[in-house]
Copies of this chain bind each other. A is one copy, B any other.
Amino acid sequence: MTGKPDHIQKNAGRIVISVDAMGGDAGPAVVVAGIAMSADKNPDLGFILHGPEDQLKPLVAKKRILNGRVEFRDARDVVTMEDKPSQVMRNGKGTSMWSALDSVKQGEAAGAVSCGNTGALMALSMLRLRKLPGVNRPAIAILWPSRNPQGFNVMLDVGADVRADAQDLLQYALMGTSYVRNSMDIPRPRVGLLNVGTEEHKGHADLKEAYGLISDHSETGGFDFVGFVEGSDIPGDTADVIVTDGFTGNVAIKTGEGTASLMRITLREAFEYSFLSKIAALLAMTSLKRLSKRLDPRRVNGGVFLGLNGTVVKSHGGADATGVSAAVKLAFRLAQQGFAEKLAARVASSVALTQDKPAQMDETSPDQAPTKKD
């Protein structure tokens, strides 16, 4: 489906990830440190690194673990956080971001990772990799710390597009399900549709329509539909996949992050307040580290773009080496599972299922068997 079956064979049998070295807040040194951490943990990883070669080569040379595992693609321009997606689509050809996506398009890499401007990365990804047949709006999916046994939920869309109609929300349910199946060991994920209440009569007309559509497709899609869920269920345990439009999803994750950050600051202040509380903090160090590891946003760093011909992972702009390494690990894992191909098949089969006219089915998905797994 994606037309690059042989990318996994390059770089001496390693899975190759294409990495945009530029555009993150902390500069290319942190990105190189991140891929070095990944390379150290995983001998099956190789990299193509995009950016100004004269800057990147010395940074890579300092990390012995990267020896022989990094190819360079010289790209002089950088997409900044201030650049508008429309400008980047017109003038972005010389940028490291463009180049990183091109390696996926050409089949040289199994996935791309970038810390750059999210809007520009999504716009360029759609331009270079194109949407999967049958997908109207691609989505960004993230992992969110939750009370579920797996420790995380998947939420999408968190900002690819501010709008989503009922059909889009159904696609998100199918793509999110596929993502959970390929990144966690959950054969039959539970899907919830985000609303202001769990009663069926609540919310917008689009949501009520999506409720019906998602419910109708749960059997063929291989998921359990738990119906409407609320904001409190995002970190909760009632669903594994939370489906929403990109506006609501984006506000929700940023509110959650902001709340967590306020609590961390307040906790630190509380422990620095008195002599006794400072001693308590010392004694509680291990416990606090466990807490902070559990809820560390760096461990779940990486929004995955779903609905494209190829895997793109957006790392947080402010990611440190640990964060970059987590994003690389995610891209690697999805490549290893053949996720892009499975998702394409899943979406194609759903297109077949939701099309009224059988003639259209052949048009959009000529070679997909609707029964194909995932």
A61 at the binding interface (Cβ < 8 Å): no
Residues 234-263 of A at the B interface (beta carbon under 8 Å): 234-236, 244, 246-248, 250-263
| B231 touching A252, Cβ below 8 Å | yes
| A291 touching B265, Cβ below 8 Å | no
Known contacts A271-B287, A280-B287; is-contact A231 B257 (Cβ 8 Å): yes
Known contacts A255-B232, A258-B231; is-contact A267 B281 (Cβ 8 Å): no
Please give the count of copies of this chain that the complex contains: 2
Residues 3-46 of A at the B interface (beta carbon under 8 Å): none
Task: Tell me the complex Cα distance, A247–B194, Å.
Answer: 10
| B159 touching A196, Cβ below 8 Å | yes
Task: Tell me the complex Cα distance, A231–B257, Å.
Answer: 8
CB distance from A373 to the nearest CB of B (A): 34
A222 at the binding interface (Cβ < 8 Å): no
A359 at the binding interface (Cβ < 8 Å): no
A231 — which chain B residues lie within 8 A by C-beta?
Answer: 250-258
A233 — which chain B residues lie within 8 A by C-beta?
Answer: 258
A369 at the binding interface (Cβ < 8 Å): no
A279 at the binding interface (Cβ < 8 Å): yes
A64 at the binding interface (Cβ < 8 Å): no
Nearest to A286 among chain B residues (CB) is B277
Known contacts A258-B233, A270-B287, A286-B277; is-contact A263 B295 (Cβ 8 Å): yes
Task: Tell me the complex Cα distance, A308–B199, Å.
Answer: 26
Which among B84, B159, B194, B269 is the interface contact of A251 at CB below 8 angstroms? B194
A147 — which chain B residues lie within 8 A by C-beta?
Answer: 262, 265
A127 at the binding interface (Cβ < 8 Å): no
Nearest to A264 among chain B residues (CB) is B263
Known contacts A231-B250, A251-B252; is-contact A277 B271 (Cβ 8 Å): no
Interface string of A320-363 (1 = CB under 8 A from B): 00000000000000000000000000000000000000000000
| A270 touching B291, Cβ below 8 Å | yes
Known contacts A162-B196, A196-B246, A262-B146; is-contact A267 B254 (Cβ 8 Å): no
A254 — which chain B residues lie within 8 A by C-beta?
Answer: 230-232
A106 — which chain B residues lie within 8 A by C-beta?
Answer: none
| B235 touching A259, Cβ below 8 Å | yes
14 residue pairs from A and B, CB less than 8 Å apart? A145-B262, A159-B196, A162-B203, A196-B247, A231-B250, A232-B257, A234-B258, A248-B248, A259-B260, A263-B291, A266-B291, A270-B291, A274-B287, A277-B287
Q: Which residues of A contact B (CB under 8 A)?
A: 84, 119, 145-147, 159, 162-163, 194, 196-197, 201-204, 230-236, 244, 246-248, 250-263, 265-267, 269-271, 273-274, 276-277, 279-284, 286-288, 290-291, 294-295
